[in-house]
Amino acid sequence: MIHREPTELDLKAVDMTETRPTVGVGMVGHAFMGAAHSQAWRNAPRFFDLPLVPRLAVLGGRDRDHATAAAARLGWQDVETDWRVLIERGDVGLVDICTPGDTHAEIAVAALAAGKHVLCEKPLANTVEEAEAMTAAAEAAHAQGVRSMVGFTYRRVPAIALARRLVAEGKIGDIRHVRAQYLQDWIVDPEAPLTWRLQKDKAGSGALGDVGAHIVDLTQFITGEQIVGVSGLLETFVKERPLPESASGLSGVGGTERGEVTVDDAAVFLGRFTGGALATFEATRFATGRKNSIRIEINGSAGSLAFDFEDMNVLQVYDQTANPDLAGFTRVLVTEPSHPYVGAWWPAGHVLGYEHAFTHQVVDLLTAIAEDRDPEPSFADGLAVQRVLGAIEESAAKNSVWTEIPR
């Protein structure tokens, strides 16, 4: 293994047969997102010809036994129980943050100050103020060639990337309407335990930040426009839940000790985009029967686009200029080699899944770092989403008053 000075250890060889530069990755957190990110770090260099190859150097977790077991399962070489130690390691050149939102700012700012590239899960932070501090740290590190990105992974679904391309090419004309939903049902059961995602001090917000952040980012990404104002409603349907220590883990059967739910269960809001388009949004974890349904429709002066994550390899496209006798939404199967990202995978018609977007995220990040350019979405993009979320909370607290987004 080739070692260099600590300031260059983000570019080091995996072994004597690897001729491409590499980067040692240190990932903090190893639950749901940690598993998804781990698979992406492993798969990216196996399917894409990367200019910079990741090495899974160290996994961070608070409990050494749990972290060690996760590292063995997910393919990491070493374990640390203190994220500060992980950041300072000479074999780590990139820090991947997969922890609850209340830790994002502290870890990201420290990693950037240490000269490490950063990938941070969404939402960027729990508050606008934290997101502003993280963006300022990213801008300061940028001057030293240190890059950062926020993990709005659904941007990398090929059908979503194709939708962005079609809008940018003017295929649907001027944007008039935007509709977006993110529907889940994982806490419909009132006896589901009180996890960290239901506590404001850890998660920042509920459905609004957890899933609403995705559709805010996706609609801004696809349209290429920003949300400039909102009017919102938030609701918490189940006010108390069994504490994890006293919950049995079986549906409908909980313990006697209960704790307060301090975040929203659902968010509904209106918005307006910079180009004047009207928008409706719905984010909920109480849509009974919906497991992970993301629905987006964009109506323009020359056509429309529609996407549903439950059929994620398909983009519905309507061409207003087509012969009226044959007009209708065309079902485009986004599996052709010419479609975004798809050429590195399987033959046409062999569909991709949820996990592939995480691999595409790794590919885009490492390519940007190797080419010494800024990856997207940036921390500034994450801050823009955070400002929308903050404005929705402010609007809901004032009986849905129209609230402008700070620019």
* pLDDT tens for the chain, residues 1 to 407: 223 333 333 333 344 346 889 999 999 999 999 999 999 999 999 999 999 999 999 999 999 999 999 999 999 999 999 999 999 999 999 999 999 999 999 999 999 999 999 999 999 999 999 999 999 999 999 999 999 999 999 999 999 999 999 999 999 999 999 999 999 999 999 999 999 999 999 999 999 999 999 999 999 999 999 999 999 999 999 999 999 874 444 444 445 799 999 999 999 999 999 999 999 999 999 999 999 999 999 999 999 999 999 999 999 999 999 999 989 999 999 999 999 999 999 999 999 999 999 999 999 999 999 999 999 999 999 999 999 999 999 999 999 999 999 87
Domain assignment of residue 58, given as a range: 6-154
Q: How many domains does the chain have?
A: 2
**CATH code of the domain in which 139 resides:** 3.40.50.720
Boundary-marking domain end, from 126, 154, 182: 154
CB of 35 within 8 A of CB of 56?
A: no
Q: Do residues 118 and 176 both lie within one domain? A: no
Dihedral sign, Cα of residue 263, residue 266, residue 268, residue 273? positive
* pLDDT value at residue 222: 98
Q: What is the DSSP string of 66-134?
A: HHHHHHHHHT-SEEES-HHHHHH-TT--EEEE-S-GGGHHHHHHHHHHTT-EEEEESSS-SSHHHHHHH
Tokens for 145? 């060639």
**Mind listing the pLDDT tens digit for each residue in 340-383?**
999 999 999 999 999 999 999 999 999 999 999 999 999 999 99
Q: Which residues contact 114 (CB under 8 A, 6 or more apart)?
A: 87, 88
Boundary-marking domain end, from 100, 123, 154: 154
Q: Do residues 172 and 285 both lie within one domain? A: yes
Residue with tokens 């109506």: 299
Q: Do residues 140 and 176 both lie within one domain? A: no
Q: Do residues 245 and 277 both lie within one domain? A: yes
* pLDDT value at residue 39: 98
* pLDDT value at residue 407: 79
- Is residue 1, in this structure, part of any structural domain at all? no
10 Å CB burial of residue 300 (0-12, 13-18, 19+) is buried
- Is residue 289, in this structure, part of any structural domain at all? yes
* pLDDT value at residue 256: 78
Q: Do residues 117 and 189 both lie within one domain? A: no
Between strands 148-151 and 117-121, the pairing is parallel
Q: Do residues 62 and 146 both lie within one domain? A: yes
Q: What is the DSSP string of 171-230?
A: TT-SEEEEEEEEE--TT-STTS---GGG-HHHHSSSHIIIIIHHHHHHHHHHHS--EEEE
Q: Do residues 161 and 307 both lie within one domain? A: yes
* pLDDT value at residue 18: 65
* pLDDT value at residue 16: 36
Q: Do residues 13 and 140 both lie within one domain? A: yes
- Is residue 310, in this structure, part of any structural domain at all? yes
Residue 158: is the preceding peptide bond cis (ω within 30°)? no
Per-residue CA distances from 273 to 150, 188, 213, 394, 395 (Å) = 22, 32, 16, 18, 17
* pLDDT value at residue 255: 55
Q: Do residues 297 and 366 both lie within one domain? A: yes
**CATH code of the domain in which 258 resides:** 3.30.360.10
Tokens for 155? 């941007």
Q: Do residues 253 and 397 both lie within one domain? A: yes
The strand order across the sheet containing 94-97 reads 78-80, 53-60, 22-28, 94-97, 117-121, 148-151
* pLDDT value at residue 220: 98
Boundary-marking domain end, from 108, 128, 154: 154
Q: Do residues 120 and 201 both lie within one domain? A: no
CA 3 to CA 5: how far, in whole Å?
7
* Upper half-sphere CA count for residue 87 (Cβ side, 13 Å): 18
**Mind listing the pLDDT tens digit for each residue in 237-276?**
999 999 987 444 444 444 579 999 999 999 999 999 999 9
Q: Which residues contact 255 (CB under 8 A, 6 or more apart)?
A: 242, 243, 245, 246, 247, 248
CA 279 to CA 281: how far, in whole Å?
7
Q: How many CB atoms lie within 10 A of CB 224?
A: 13
